[in-house]
Structure 1
Amino acid sequence: MKISKMSINRPVAIVTIVFIAIVFGIVGFASLPVDLYPSMNMPYVSIVTVYPGSGPEEVENLITEPIEKTLSSVNDLDELTSYSSAGVSQIVLKFQDSTDVETAVNNVREKVDGVLSSLPDDIQKPIIRKADPNASPIIKIAVSGNEDLNQLKKFIDDKMVNQLQRAEGVASVDVNGYKEKEIQIILKRDKLEGYNLSINKVMQVLKAQNMSMPIGDIQEGISNLSLKIEGEFKSIEEIRNLPIPIKSGTIKLRDIAVIQEVDKDMEAYTFVNGQPSITLDIKKQSTANTVAVADEINKVVNKIKSENPDINIVINKDDSINIRNSISSVQNTGLIGGILAIVVLFIFLKNFRSTLIIGTAIPISIIIAFALMYFFKVGLNMVSLMGLALGIGMLVDNGIVVLENIFRYRKEGLGRKEAAYKGVSEVGFSIIASTLTSIAVFLPIVFTEGFAADIFRDMSLTVTFSLIASLVIALTLIPMMCSKFLKIENNSRENFASKISNKWENVLISIEKKYKKLLLKALNHRKITSFIVALIFVATVFLVPMLGMEFMPKIDEGTFKIDVKMPQGTVVEETLKTVDKVEKKLNGIDEIKEIYVKVQNNTANIQGDVGTVNERKRSIDEIVEQIRNEIKVIPGTEFSVAASSMGNGGSSGKPIAIKIVGDDYNKLHKISKEFVDVIENVNGTREVTSSLSDGGNEGVIEINRNKSSLYGMTISGIVGELRSAVNGSIASKYKVNGDEIDIKIMYDKNKINNLQDVKNLPISTALGIKVPLDEIGDIKKEKAPSQINRENQKRIVIVDAALSGIDTNTAKKQISKKLDEYNMPEGYYYEFGGDSKDMMESFSSLGKALVIGIILTYLIMAAQFESFLYPFVIMFSVPYALAGGVFALVISKTTLSIVGIIGMIMLVGIVVNNAIVLIDYTNQLREKGYSRREALLIAGPTRLRPILMTTMTTVLGMLPMAIGMGQGAEMQAPLARVIIGGLSLATLVTLIIIPVNYTIFEDIARKINKTNNNMEKNINKVAS
């Protein structure tokens, strides 16, 4: 090959080029962004609309449905989901994967603006956002101490926020869990009635008397002077003395109300290890490096800690720790794999210089791959590094084939340059073809869409880059180094190393002789051989039903979460008592290091840290199962416990999610409850819940329009006055020290304790009199859903379940079997969502990629061999590779996930390499005049060593990954196990069945050609 000849004759040029590539690689590596997972395309847009004081059904009818209708025609829309709860409508639009999200956001905004006029006047403006993975905080900090929360908030504002915001790469610092101030104006009902005043009238006065406005300019002498009225409240005393006009004159606001500055009712409480805390959520800039930003934040936090020892500052979430541990684990796996591969080379070659030449190719190829990663914008993450770790075992394959061939010619007595050129020329085209086949299987993954493509694109590219680099090194640097340094050592001295070496050589010679005898028998008994090999394949196929299936392997990240849900309407004090009981249970579990709690009304979220996998004996799943058993005895509460993990569930957050579709709320509620009962009886299911759980009671006020119109009253006026009376309304703002404090006007909450108190509330009329509410309306209690879910404009209920000791696919089959017996009402149906849906969609997408990869591999080999026959023979390696991968998963009790399927796809490109080398050399021998049988009997034993070497280096290179040690190992292990099992079985079968099939199909082709020739002769005779 010309490039190889040039590299042998121009060593300085090759060294210079390699050196430049190394420099680019090192610079590129230093510039690569670091994160835990690759950035993913997230074509989601959400719309959140707040409608204060409204119930779920009211939100659905007045907000959700009108917006849904106008959005249903937006371009590239794939799925429309909505959630209507008390006071809040949330709509989520999922677009097609290829959609530009910024364009989608603009289209959505236009549609929503067009429907705003038909929505209620008192809604807050809808907030439209695209899904942003960087919106999640990379660090959470909890601050607690002896001071109350107000003092802590002042400390955080003065000492922490500004310093943290100045840290490089920080986008925002959000403070949560503190008490805000407000001015409460608690009106005295008897005084209001005595002065014939209403809440609305007092609010109007407050708004009108608290403002500063510009008036205009006047000319004073030779210059203009701006005028403005300064009328904002300057003190609380000024608010107390505010004059309120009445018919007989004016009164002071303090005459009819109690005015006080108080702490607002907290919307959420946060605790760290039982201590009330204020939390800081820190988000990074979208282009910033997570690890680098976290380092800067930690520096700032440590400085603040040292300066304020009395304040307890705890970092209870730091994404960079998980990133470091996971990446370190993959790096160690790759390093061990590389060392094992080099050891294998030394055992086979028994030559230090040969091993050094190949050993040099590994780091150089990886460094060049880093340069390519930089130019193609592939960051350093667990997936891309996994690709490099996988590539290490494959990196040396090309070099081994070249070096072994050169080494063989050197042993035959050829000179260094001649052996180098002849050795690389003989196998050059075969290693190019084998590399292209390995790369070809990754192309479909890169160009597929969806979750699997987002996750594994980086791995595909890094393996491709490393293989390209290894091919270039094998064709240039290795021949050049062999032509300069490769020396055949004839050491006649007897020592321990030489004895071991000689014994190993004898073992290899013995293996070659036995293999030649076995190959001869196989060629002599082709039918029996084919039958035995086919039997092996069929036997392995029967193992497929034993495979469990799941969407993604669950990764032990050392954290868990507990969602606590109490009955709708439960006051926050009761939720806090339940959380306290849960914390006491958790304190008895040894592995738990830290507990973070957030409580909001009737719900709570608890997060726990149990340390890395190396710091404990039990897995996170075992700890989670103990937590479930400990807390399930707490009555009146719904719990959901799960390990925090990337593979921890699809859209529902649980592996099993079933969507029930229908229109009637009561029927959906009945069906969902019966589904819960059915699924709870399936072994392995845990925490089976329905999204349409029993809602709380709500008081429904039906206004009698005939009566209210007699008083000149409107529904909107009644709603405004009632809302102010029951919950209070923000009348204005009070500015102090640069902050704005709400001025809230309300009745005394302690005097509105039940529906009877509400019935007696006085409502102002247009006639200047007041009437009690029950004079113009009726109030009754009704059951109401806590949340109404819709998908594509139809009501749905989601019944979901966690799993323990059972895989997703098996659980789905068992649940489906039970639900098939359920009699669904007409017009109602169910379908699986969550992990099971994501799993089947990804499996389908990757299945297509597998088929395309097989076709591409075949076409590349057809171009290489200038024949469709020999690639067809070689492709017989593929079924046995897939069978070996299945066998490896079954014996290692590993479920089949999208990671395992990626391994199957990789196998297609890897296993044909050995067959390519074998068939290519056979054809070369036949061109030199050897018979077919002679060529096969020579090619097989001759190529046995490089085939064994490439197989063992790949297998041992992936062995640490297959064992699954360290953080994030669960992601790597299935892929490595599939490749080890598939490659091992395919290699053993390839050495026998490929030569046999070579002869069988060539004979068939000859018979077909002979038949065609005879037919052609007969046609010519008839024609003549």
Structure 2
Amino acid sequence: MSPRDLDHEAALPKFSLNRRITVLMLAVTIALVGGIAANKIPAEMLPTGFVLPFMNVQVPWDDAPGREVLEKVTIPLEEELSTVRGIQTVVSISFTGGSRVFMRFKQGTDMSIAYREVRDRIERAKVNFPSDIDQTFINKADLSGLPVYAIGIAVDPGLANSYDLIQNAVVARLERLDGVASVEAFGLEEKEILIELDREKTNSAGLNIYELAEDLGDDNFTMASGTVRNGSQKLLMRSMANYRSLEELENRRIAPSIRLADIASIRYEEPDKTYRTRVMSRPAVALQIIKEAEANTQELCERLDEEYASLEQDPRLAGLWMKNYFSQGEIIDESLGTLVKSGMIGGLLAAMVLFAFMRRVRLTMIVALSIPLSLVVGLTVMYFAGESLNILTLIGLMICVGLLVDNSVVVAENIHRLHREGMPRRDACIKGAGEVGLAITMSTLTTIIVFLPALLAEGPAQFFMMRLAIPVAVSVAGSLVIALLFIPISVYLTLPTGLETRAPGRLKRAHERVNDLLRIGYEATFGRVNRGYCKVLEFFLSRRLEMSLAVVAILAISVGIFSNTTKFVGSQEDEQAQFELQFDLPSNTTLEESEEYFLAVEKTIEAYKDEYEIDGWFIFHRKTFGEVQAWFAPERTAPYSAKETMQVVMDGIPERAGVEIFAGDEANSEENALSTHVVFVRGEDPDLVNDVADQVADVLVNVDGVVGRLKAGGDAPSELGLIIDRERAQHVGVNPQVIAGLVGYTLRGTSLPRFQAEGREVPVRVRFQESDRESLTELASFQVPTNDGGFLPLSALTESRVLPETRTIFRRNKMVGYTVTLELEEGREEEVRETLVAMQAAMDLPEGVSFGGDSRQAQSDDDLSGLISAALLSVIFIYLLMAFLFESFILPLSIVLTIPLSGIGMMWGHIISGVDIDFLGAVAVIILVGVVVNNGIVLIDYVNRLRLEGRNRREALLRATDLRFRPIMMTAITTVGGMVPLALAGASSIGLSYTSFSLTLIGGLITATLLTLLVVPVFYTLFDDAREFGSRMFGNLLRGRSARATSPDDAPAMAHQALES
């Protein structure tokens, strides 16, 4: 290497020694600005600013059958939403009681603009909705839309006007808090004015509910009527015809001698609920607080805690029982506390390891201080980049705890080695830092470059990888600058200047004794290992083929065992901090029966509450569906996992015929299970697609290896179909739409314009009293007005027939689809699945019906393939970087081989622990790719330097292995030590497990470190021989073709130069 290259590498160390005050002020500035940034950076549970390209619209329509929902709500809504720009897929579900439409947008779509367009299209579609639909909900897949706080409120049954009390004394106060965007209330029903007609009196008066509702609606309105001028003023005019009191509504004349109160009862009361909510064994209202996008979650939760304490002391709320059962602030404190505690322990372990190796207090402190200084650099950049301190960014900082000392260790160790060999302090600092400058620069860049594929990815993978990449990349880059700028001057000031002139003091003598003990301990352990490594390496340098075959065999065995014992999972089920149960009840279950059943479920949870440390639970249920969410105490010590606790609760719930219980989201994730096969049948006609799906299921369920068909969505309830006799209706002059509307008004009632009372609007609804609409006989006798002024009973114009209700109607891009999920025999999944796929391909389906793909499985495959592609791209980028810095195509290959070596440790870490690899573990694999090559880079860089100094290859390899053993071991142990506390920390409050993540890094680093000192030198010689062989072959080729133009002695040199370049 030329002197110019050495001067270039030593530029920062020279600046450090020549401009000491400048460097000191720079360090103080970094510490000061970083301290301010660290104190002001917002703390969040999850990173903000992430919006998935998804949106859904929900339209409730109580008691309406699924087919009617499809025709009157879903299809008009689909038609309008399909015109939104950037939309990729529209999926709708029509069911008894409402409709949901899910939209997926193309990557890069501005979701704020999309939201405004969706809202506009809903307003257009509402023109065609039935009149009694008055609510629509738009939900964005935005992390900032998650509730940050939740309160359960149980109301004393004897408390009057609880709605106004909760709305004004609780909800309104919470909404006024700075940072609160909205407060959503579940189970809080506003009182309404209910007009219940007596059918007999209504018929006697010659009226029907259809016409009466129209008249009452037309009689209560406020309408803008234009403008008028009064002199020079221009005034807006409104026409108002509002009822001012209930008495006025009761006295409203519907006939010359008949008041409304004569044929109906008018009450102000809570509407009938179609669901129940319970919190901690009490009927309750659940309040969920949504924060503003820019609000600091932790600070907002502190304000909410203060306001909650104030609400508990409010005498107006004495009749309410309140419990704050969820707070993101507590989760943030617990999760961040776990990570910070693990980081501090990891940092302390790293400092202890450094002291054990370096045996100098001041040098250990200098190197250890590079950790907080580098972290401060990372926090500063994060703060000014608008990032928050969340679970992902803290994991990134945790990774850095062990990595940040690597560069400083290598620089400090090399400086001390040169000084011990007799080089003056200044020269040792300059040359020591300069010699390893290229190696640590390359090591740092390889750690950073693994995140480059994240920039090329799209969607959630890019967002979350970037949140992890920013703290790692910035902190590691900061550690490089610290190692080359601050470490040389710090070591220079602490190195001895010459012989001591004073007698050593007591503290000095104690330090020397400790130093002697550490030296003896080192020589007895790592010293022996170092010498043993050199002997083993010397042995294998003469047996390179045996070494290569052994490594390949170990890798193949590891892959085989790993693939058969470990699988990829979304999360570690055994470490969840909560659990969820979902229930499907028979279709004929009443709300009262459902309530009775869930009371029994609640008693089961109460029975196990103390033993299993269940801190609280929330129950929501309708007639045929329910869910239970339970969470554990924050400092839980019970020796039972969430999965075990959930199973105990499930086993303890009393059995009831027809009830199915699903663990977690099992009911919605059967398609993704490894032991199932999903068949998706699609077409235009719901009835035809339904019949074909049943026929396909009947055929496939009899295949050998198919256990049975899994239930999808529960049994469909029966419905009463009214078949209108069109000829008869036309003969008497009755429009079929009038008949359908009359039946709907009769059974469901209808909403009227809101009642204005004391500055607020009160809902108004009209319907027949329950005794007039509870049986088929009552329905058949309803009177339908004819054109001649007479009436006919409904039974004279319709035929009633009990039919099975159409299942929940699923549509994708305006095509109806049904899913058939088949359970496969364990151990034969792939074999049976291949048979089923072949049978599907051979089936002759009716025209207009076809098989569709499993979109969820396709998305899962895309996610997994994306991670694999990112890992492969990281390897390629690392190779390109090393080829660029080493100026060689061949030599970087010997270092790249450390990546599969790390895979051996990663796999055996999961095999021995029995832990499956999860998403964070897969991310750790990508990070591992950039970390494990660092030791190989430091080693090969020094080998090349020794060979440039004139040493032969074998001598250079043995010498480099001997001298680089200490820094390689120090950096590896400090990095592993930083991960050990995280591996032992367990899951966070939200069930996020760091076990797989830590095992991947720990196992990979251990095997990569242990094998790097053996395998990399051996493969270095193999590739070096391959390079020499190629040079000779290329030289012979050039010699044969260019004998006249080139001297034979120059051909090998030209070939060697060509291959190297």
Task: Using structure 1 for the length normalisation, give the TM-score.
Answer: 0.91
User: Partner residue of 1:735?
Assistant: 756
Query: Displacement of 1:192 after TM fit?
Result: 2.7
Query: Displacement of 1:564 after TM fit?
Result: 2.6
Matching residue within 923, 928, 946 for 1:902: 923
Matching residue within 616, 637, 651 for 2:659: 637
- Residues 742 and 523 of structure 1: is their aligned pair in 2 closer, same or farther, counting only changes over 3 Å? closer
* Amino acid across the alignment from 1:292: E
CA distance in 2, matches of 1:223, 1:1021: 106
Matched, 1:666 2:686: no
The answer to whether the 8 A contact 1:526-1:996 is kept is yes
Matching residue within 954, 965, 970 for 1:944: 965
The answer to whether the 8 A contact 2:174-2:183 is kept is yes
The answer to whether the 8 A contact 2:55-2:103 is kept is yes
CA distance in 2, matches of 1:364, 1:597: 49
User: Partner residue of 1:760?
Assistant: 781
The answer to whether the 8 A contact 1:649-1:655 is kept is no
SS of the aligned residue for 1:340 comes to helix
The answer to whether the 8 A contact 2:706-2:822 is kept is no
SS of the aligned residue for 1:971 comes to coil
Matching residue within 1013, 1026, 1030 for 1:991: 1013
Matching residue within 20, 25, 49 for 2:34: 25
Matched, 1:364 2:373: yes
SS of the aligned residue for 1:43 comes to strand
* Amino acid across the alignment from 2:1030: I
**Higher mean C-alpha deviation, range 32-41 or range 577-586:** 32-41
- Residues 625 and 347 of structure 1: is their aligned pair in 2 closer, same or farther, counting only changes over 3 Å? same
User: Partner residue of 1:300?
Assistant: 307
- Residues 263 and 535 of structure 1: is their aligned pair in 2 closer, same or farther, counting only changes over 3 Å? closer
Query: Displacement of 1:137 after TM fit?
Result: 1.9
User: Partner residue of 2:1040?
Assistant: 1018
Matching residue within 518, 539, 561 for 1:543: 561
User: Partner residue of 1:967?
Assistant: 988
1:741-890 equivalent positions in 2, closer than 5 A: 741-798=762-819, 816=833, 825-827=843-845, 829=851, 832=854, 834=856, 837-890=858-911
- Residues 557 and 32 of structure 1: is their aligned pair in 2 closer, same or farther, counting only changes over 3 Å? farther
Matched, 1:165 2:186: no
Query: Displacement of 1:855 after TM fit?
Result: 0.9
CA distance in 2, matches of 1:12, 1:938: 38
CA distance in 1, matches of 2:242, 2:126: 32
Q: Deviations over 1:824-873 (max 9, x none)?
A: 85445475565x55543222001111111111101111111111121122
Q: Deviations over 1:599-641 (max 9, x none)?
A: 3343333222222363322111111111222227233323223
Matched, 1:558 2:580: no
Query: Displacement of 1:580 after TM fit?
Result: 1.0
Q: Deviations over 1:95-133 (max 9, x none)?
A: 233322234445656777777777778766865553333
SS of the aligned residue for 2:664 comes to strand
Matched, 1:581 2:590: no
SS of the aligned residue for 1:542 comes to helix
SS of the aligned residue for 1:148 comes to coil
* Amino acid across the alignment from 1:668: A
User: Partner residue of 1:240?
Assistant: 250
* Amino acid across the alignment from 1:305: E
SS of the aligned residue for 2:51 comes to coil
SS of the aligned residue for 1:609 comes to strand
Q: Deviations over 1:396-433 (max 9, x none)?
A: 11111001001111222333222111110110111001
The answer to whether the 8 A contact 2:359-2:519 is kept is no
Matched, 1:706 2:727: yes
The answer to whether the 8 A contact 2:357-2:970 is kept is yes
CA distance in 2, matches of 1:608, 1:380: 28
* Amino acid across the alignment from 2:895: I
Query: Displacement of 1:954 after TM fit?
Result: 1.1
CA distance in 2, matches of 1:761, 1:448: 63
User: Partner residue of 1:329?
Assistant: 338
- Residues 171 and 123 of structure 1: is their aligned pair in 2 closer, same or farther, counting only changes over 3 Å? closer
- Residues 501 and 445 of structure 1: is their aligned pair in 2 closer, same or farther, counting only changes over 3 Å? same
Matching residue within 397, 400, 421 for 2:430: 421
User: Partner residue of 2:206?
Assistant: 196
The answer to whether the 8 A contact 2:197-2:265 is kept is yes
Query: Displacement of 1:901 after TM fit?
Result: 2.1
* Amino acid across the alignment from 1:473: I
Query: Displacement of 1:350 after TM fit?
Result: 0.8
* Amino acid across the alignment from 1:605: E
CA distance in 1, matches of 2:581, 2:236: 60
Query: Displacement of 1:274 after TM fit?
Result: 2.2
Query: Displacement of 1:361 after TM fit?
Result: 0.5
Matching residue within 146, 149, 162 for 1:136: 146
Query: Displacement of 1:306 after TM fit?
Result: 2.5
Matched, 1:912 2:933: yes
- Residues 73 and 270 of structure 1: is their aligned pair in 2 closer, same or farther, counting only changes over 3 Å? closer
- Residues 732 and 993 of structure 1: is their aligned pair in 2 closer, same or farther, counting only changes over 3 Å? closer
- Residues 207 and 363 of structure 1: is their aligned pair in 2 closer, same or farther, counting only changes over 3 Å? same
The answer to whether the 8 A contact 1:47-1:128 is kept is yes
User: Partner residue of 1:502?
Assistant: 519
| Structure 1 unpaired stretches of 5+ | none
Matching residue within 632, 636, 645 for 1:614: 636
User: Partner residue of 1:84?
Assistant: 94
- Residues 113 and 346 of structure 1: is their aligned pair in 2 closer, same or farther, counting only changes over 3 Å? same
Q: Cα RMSD (Å) of the superposition?
A: 3.5
**Higher mean C-alpha deviation, range 869-878 or range 506-515:** 506-515
The answer to whether the 8 A contact 1:47-1:126 is kept is yes
User: Partner residue of 2:440?
Assistant: 431
CA distance in 2, matches of 1:160, 1:846: 47
Give the count of matched residue pairs: 1009
| Structure 2 unpaired stretches of 5+ | 1-9, 684-688, 1047-1061
Query: Displacement of 1:310 after TM fit?
Result: 5.6
CA distance in 2, matches of 1:387, 1:1015: 52
* Amino acid across the alignment from 1:56: G
CA distance in 1, matches of 2:571, 2:379: 27
User: Partner residue of 2:3?
Assistant: none
* Amino acid across the alignment from 1:900: G
Q: Deviations over 1:993-1019 (max 9, x none)?
A: 222222222222222212222222222
* Amino acid across the alignment from 2:733: G
* Amino acid across the alignment from 1:520: E
The answer to whether the 8 A contact 2:986-2:994 is kept is no
The answer to whether the 8 A contact 2:705-2:828 is kept is no
* Amino acid across the alignment from 1:523: L
User: Partner residue of 1:3?
Assistant: 12
- Residues 276 and 171 of structure 1: is their aligned pair in 2 closer, same or farther, counting only changes over 3 Å? same
Matched, 1:526 2:550: no
The answer to whether the 8 A contact 2:682-2:851 is kept is yes
The answer to whether the 8 A contact 2:682-2:852 is kept is no
CA distance in 2, matches of 1:553, 1:659: 26
CA distance in 2, matches of 1:541, 1:844: 18
CA distance in 1, matches of 2:695, 2:326: 41
Query: Displacement of 1:679 after TM fit?
Result: 13
The answer to whether the 8 A contact 2:221-2:753 is kept is no
* Amino acid across the alignment from 2:14: K
The answer to whether the 8 A contact 2:414-2:432 is kept is yes
The answer to whether the 8 A contact 1:49-1:126 is kept is yes
User: Partner residue of 1:473?
Assistant: 482
* Amino acid across the alignment from 1:778: E
* Amino acid across the alignment from 2:585: M
- Residues 935 and 156 of structure 1: is their aligned pair in 2 closer, same or farther, counting only changes over 3 Å? same
SS of the aligned residue for 1:60 comes to helix
Q: Deviations over 1:209-251 (max 9, x none)?
A: 4345677899999999998776422222222221223xxx432
* Amino acid across the alignment from 1:744: R
Query: Displacement of 1:194 after TM fit?
Result: 2.7
Matching residue within 570, 573, 586 for 1:567: 586
CA distance in 1, matches of 2:339, 2:129: 54
* Amino acid across the alignment from 1:285: E
**Higher mean C-alpha deviation, range 548-557 or range 15-24:** 548-557
Q: Deviations over 1:253-294 (max 9, x none)?
A: 223223333331124332222222222221111121222111
**Higher mean C-alpha deviation, range 892-901 or range 109-118:** 109-118
